[in-house]
Structure 1
Amino acid sequence: MHPVTTVLPLDSSVLASLVEQTTDMVMITDLDGYIVYVNHAWEVGTGHRQNQVLGKTPALLRSDQHDQHFYRRLWNSLNQGRDFHDIFINRRADGTLFYEEKTLIALRDSENNITHYASIGNSITQDQSTQERLVWLMHHDPVTGLPNRTMMLSQLDEEVARAKHHQHQLAVICLDLDRFKTLNDSLGPKLGDELLHQVACRLQEMLPENAMLARNSSDEFIAIFPSIRNTRTLAYTAHKLLHELERPFLLGDRESYISASMGISIYPDDGHKADQILRNVDAAMHRAKKSGGQQYHFYTEDMMYAAHDRFKLENQLRQALLHKEFYLEYQPRIAMSDGSLRSVEALLRWKNPEGIPVSPAEFIPMLEDMGLITSVGEWVLLTACRQLTQWHSMDLPPFRVSVNLSAKQFQQSNLTEVVAKSLSHAKLEAQWLELEITESLMIENFHQSLEALQELREMGVSLALDDFGAGYSSLGYLKHLPIQTLKIDRGFITDLVYDPADVAIVQAVTGMAHRMGISVTAEGVETSEQLALLAELGCEEGQGFYMGRPMAAEALVEWLTQPQTFRQQLTSKAI
């Protein structure tokens, strides 16, 4: 038995008396799930005595009548700050089962930290007037009134069997709300539930009469179309659903917006069994979400093969991290004035077990999805700093090292500590480290991002804004960023020599940056003509294959000591 070291304090004797005398069954656990309090009604309803259950877990009531999905829904709701309400089938001390309609809530202290969990319920087993509601609740979601996952699975099995018998197609759409957790945290659980209810109502209005809509999980809905004529009609329906959700939702006295990602799977093309269809429609939905959200994707055989390849690659990446198979290459950034080396950008590289290099564009997003990017990113930071320290000890001309920050790294609350630790272990001064961020990292929470950047600048670390112009660009927020370098995206450099529009853009960005005291680096420089024009337009630094491809640390030393065409080009022009 787990020892009870604390007793839940009740500040008011009236409150304590109320909880003890209420006919509701009340149980309170600590954060580890151990029971710290039960009232008299709970003892009567369960047949357990308080002195026998303190220090134990609620698992003593478990009847094994609920699957793992039920408990995942429970914890997902609590972890998102939402109450969980449902019918529980529990087991009394004498072994008999009873039905309990109850609500689970998280108890918080004055600083809004969760301190305990409370269960408040009533046994409804013997109440004949509630039997119809009991049956309804066992098959429906109480928040939206829609069929729940249990009923949806049963219905899908029946529809698949019917489609097989009549030899016609059926379709399933999986709709997942984009960024619902963030919105729910902002709205609070009550308005979050209201939003789900309004979403359900809109979706039902847009679906044909023979379609079934169910709530599959906290922010996910499943629509079953028993018979379809063609995929064009299905695509049109999906488009209408997305468009319908674009209208604002009135929640209390405020308007809120939300979008959705949808996957579509068709029987028998994408599977002959209900569970296979659900797996495939879920894969299609995640493909839509990964592509940016607010869109729909059909499942295809190609997606299935891609899933197999992804699973294989994930296993290989885990092994790569375990066996230290990642390595770094460094690409030079040179001064436009004389061709000298100003900085090197550390770039993560990896070869699969067959020795074939895998594109960073393929494996880095997977590291992010797998939750490994933070660990790998810290390794990159430390390794790059140590390498620069080694170069400095070789009596080479001084230059900086630049390291890219991922979104997950940038969101770390201890980012400055991680950077400081890497610098300390590498015995490198902060002025020699530059961190590159992208514009997209700033959009989610600008003020929080700004604080993180200011802390890094106070440490002495240089900051660069990478891929400027590639995505969301706002000159309004640029003036607030404590950056020293702006890197113009290669998309404006590729056709620079032939496209006057690109010349105008680079010239305008460079002039603006200089007036703000920010230096400019051009990425993707691949020809002598581009280099000459960029130098003429006022860019301080250039980076690209023309000056140097990404290379191993040893190769960089050799590159530094050898004559380079671009240096001769720049120095002769300066003379």
Structure 2
Amino acid sequence: MRADDCPAVETPEFLLAALEQASDAVVIVDSDRRVRHFNAAAERIWGFSRAEVLGRDADLFGLYDHQLRQIAAADQAASGRPVRKRDSEITIHHRDGRPIRVALSVSRVAIDGNVNTMAFVRDITVDIARRDKMALLNLVADKTNRGVVVTDRSLGIVYTNAAFAGLFGYSPEEVMGRQVGQLLAGPHSDRAALSRLRRRIGARDDGDEEILAYDRNGDEIWLSITVKAFRNERGRIKYIFGLLTDISETRQLRSLQQLIMGALADEVPITEISDRLCRRVEIIAPDVVSSVLHVDADGLIHPLGGPSLPAEYSRALDGVAIGPEIGSCGSAAYYGRAVLADNIDTDPRWQPFKAMPLAAGLKACWSTPIKAKDGRVIGTFAFYFRECRAPSRWHQRIVEACVHLGALAIERKEARAQIARLAYHDMLTGLPNRAQLRHLIDHAIKGCHDGQNVALLFLDLDHFKDVNDTLGHSAGDELLVELTRRLRARIQPGDMLGRLGGDEFVIVLPNGDPARASLIASEITEALTSPLRLGDRQVPISASMGISVYPDNATDIDTLMQQADAAMYKAKQAGRATYRFFSVDMNRLDEQRLIHIAALRNAIANDALKLHYQPQTRTVDGSIYGAEALARWHDPVLGEVPPLKFIRLAEECGLIEQIGMWSIREACRQLAAWRRAGLDVPCVSVNLSPINFQNRNLAAVVAENLATNGLPPEALMLEITESVLMKERSVAIETMNAIRELGVGLSLDDFGTGYSSLSRLAHLPIRELKIDRAFMRDIERDASALAVATAVVRVGQSLGMTVVAEGVETEAQRNVLKTLGCDVVQGYLFAPALPPEAFERWLLDHAVEQASTMLRRLSQSLPQPRETPLPGIAGKRSA
């Protein structure tokens, strides 16, 4: 390359002085590769003084490496034309060995007629580090699952990460420069929330907001947006950073779950729960109107929630039967799948019902069935739209959560209704029980206006005990069910029928004057004249009835009941199968009640009560397990008084505790007598009242009776009812623990008829569970009764308890219980409650039967002897 082809420098001194002030390092190398110039910036980069460098070979400083060689090669290829190479990045080394990354620009210059190479060197180590850091930050931003967006001060987008593209469907090229608000906001976005974000940015108040945004396809996305402003040295906003988190499921849908579960825990009514659910849904999906419907066991629709629907529309839906052409909800419930009507006006399923939703501006409806765990459709959850459309992906996610929550709420409602039915209704007949009857009577009295009456009929079956004693309790239950059917047929829809217990029923006649009460009583008497067929027998049926009238006879419930009861006894004294009105000269307290109380006191004082014993046998081998002692009372004047009557009377007049103590003494005495006579009765069960367990001396009394009769503690079992557990009195629990410490067993009687004791059962000293006889009826055919019996057996055995089934009257019932693994059975199949002498005879007969059965089994299990042939025959064969 010739010198005249290079830029001429006329005043080298001026050039060198200018280069000395340059911020970049400047090194001039002559044609012999010797350093001719080395400015102050070069001294700082390399750490050498110019005195140490000038005149030395440029290779020592990394300048005449491949970059300069490339220039030399380019010079040759250019045939002597001047060549400049700029901004190559190379690595040089400081005199202390530290590597330095620099940007190198080189050119040829002619100085004093000679061609020289001038190198401009800039330290870019910090810039490289910053660039690498930015590359790393970009890599991290693209790997995060949160959307990142950076805008300029006017909210124009300058950067988005990969998660942003995945969230909204826009590539970085599509969004660059667009306004972020216009890109993501939609018809139902909260403009106020967006304005708050802008104000926070301007006020240096970084924060976050929850906003409904829309993706490229128009689908809704709930976002939590965190923003931060980056400012320059003068405090002006340069960039705005936004971190976007999809909270559609994690926050919004979870809030639905928290809302409903909290309401269920607080025992909020189902209608309020449904309203809360709909209101919350309409907040997170502002373009819908939602509703919740309940579908009852008869397939009828009942609105539960729909606060944004017109009230008259919801009322019109109540009681509508589901079906294939009953709008969206009725069809969804009928088919058990989601149904969409994207145009209510033209959809054939909506034609009979479309007027009211269309008038309210609702043009489309999407309904999804709510199903119970067993697959039953128990409700629907519907979205109404104000435009003809289908649900979005966001709507589908909401409904997936809501149908599950709706199922929880409706199943909870059904469970509570079932519990209430068990608590306030008689299990056998389905009628209101004593507790519910008081509410019904009170309601009737409060609704009684001036000049109106409420008549109360107290009905008691005649000779019901004879049916139980001769045909068994199963026949007695069948009779009570038939009686209930006949009574219902004789009363009006507004009248009320209930069962107090046993064979006692009450009929309440709102606005029922004496004339109507007399008519109803006469019709009932006539209806009962036809005998009832029980199996192959015709059983006569009749009832005695007493009538009292509000306010003529009394103004409070208890007095009305007492007066009607007294009038009923008058009807019995008149020959039964009739009715009597209460009159002022008929005073229950002075007549029947006082007579019965006096007679009962006398019977207790003179040991006139008797214990009968019903055997209990093991299912596995039929051996005797024990006997239950049951109190019986035959009065010379009153005759045979049913246990339900005199036990209730004893509870009312404070004699029940004495009966319990007497029963313990008599049962221990009788058991000791049997054992002395050589009769093997392992254990006797005695029924006690909850009041007995309020006596802190009960354990001492039990111990004294066992010691007096020389009995071990395991020979006695004390039966308690669930009411002892439900009241949760500390004295009763302490008494129970004291009795168990003696070694005496505790049996929980009538288990399953209550519903509040199961949670405490495992923590109480119970040794035996008794399945109430009410569950034995049709256990071989009734799935519900079988399920209860199965549950009781499993619960009892899992807790190490013996399970006893009462009221077993058929072989089929015994076989079912044996299959379930029930430990012990008792009932009319084996024997009724027997007087001691009869029980002894039964016990001996049972022992003989057991021995005979054992001998038969033994003989069948032994090998049969082979016949021995006669000698003559044998000889002939041998010959």
TM-score under structure 2 normalisation?
A: 0.33
Report which structure shows greater RCO (CA 8 Å, sep ≥6): 1
TM-score under structure 1 normalisation?
A: 0.49
